[in-house]
Amino acid sequence: MTRIAFGSDHAGYELKQHLIARLADAGHEIIDCGTDSTDSVDYPEFCAAAARQVRDGHADVGIVMGGSGQGEQLAANKVRGARAALCNCLYTARMAREHNDANVLSIGARVVGLGLAEEIVDLFLSTEFEGGRHARRVDQLTALEAEF
């Protein structure tokens, strides 16, 4: 079982609800940080809230989504300790975990369909960090973050 924090804006709401239901049915613990409808909202508070759940140890990973996923990734990455990766394909989902130890997945709900989104999430959740030379680079990212 994985503890997963979700955050989205209105454009990502329907995909968020779909993924939450699917992952809850699979036995994962879900933390829904909003939004709660398709009414227009600003994404930063919801995506940062999901990233904070990861940072604070309440969630193992976060998943954020909006229209393109780009702003949502940016908002999550403003949270110290979050390593959010925009993954709208399987390759980037695998690399985000294997090489960057990403702990927040961002998806563009207007970019990928339900089936591909499910595959991206499954791959992200099942892929382990390789460590090795990549650990050194993740440590360098953490050091950069500590500068500010």
Q: What is the pLDDT of residues 51-99, one digit of tens each?
A: 999 999 999 999 999 999 999 999 999 999 999 999 999 999 999 999 9
Q: Looking at the DSSP assignment, which residues form a beta bridge with residue 105?
A: 63, 85
148 pLDDT higher than 90: no
20 pLDDT higher than 90: yes
Q: Report how far apart the first and last C-alpha atoms of the chain are (Å, whole number).
A: 34
Among left, alpha and beta (phi > 0; psi -120 to 50; other), residue 9 is beta
pTM to 2 decimal places:
0.96
Q: Which active-site residues does the annotation give?
A: 72, 99
- 92 prior amide bond cis, ω within 30: no
Specify the length of the chain in residues. Answer: 148
Q: 43 near 67, Cβ under 8 Å? A: no
CA 92 to chain centre: 13
Domains of the chain: 3-146 (3.40.1400.10)
Type of residue found at 23: L
The Cα-based distances of 94 to 10, 45, 48 in angstroms read 27, 27, 23
Residue 50 is predicted with a pLDDT of: 99
Place of tokens 């950069």: 144
